[in-house]
Amino acid sequence: MTENSSTEPVSPAEVPLAVTLAPAPTDKTLRQRKSVPLQGFRFAAVSLRMLKMIRKSHH
């Protein structure tokens, strides 16, 4: 990913994007990530997942 090979200062436009082929989220995905009701459900799911992780890690 490193593409700067100059010893001259890099101009703002020359620092590359991470990877242009990476999938960008759709508008729907972005809306879902901000939806309070849906994220409330995801919060519960993430909490349960983390509790499971914690239980596995406490010996």
Q: How far is the CB of 49 from other proteins (least distance, A)?
A: 6
CA-CA distance, 59 to 51, in Å (whole number)?
Answer: 14
Q: How far is the CB of 26 from other proteins (least distance, A)?
A: 10
The answer to whether 19 touches 2, Cβ cutoff 8 Å, is: no
Q: How far is the CB of 10 from other proteins (least distance, A)?
A: 5
Residues in the chain: 59
Which stretches of the chain bind other proteins, using CB under 8 A? 1-2, 4-10, 12, 15-20, 22-25, 30, 32-36, 39-40, 42-43, 45-47, 49-50, 52-54, 56-59
Roughly what angle, to the nearest 10 degrees, separates helices 27-34 and 36-57?
70
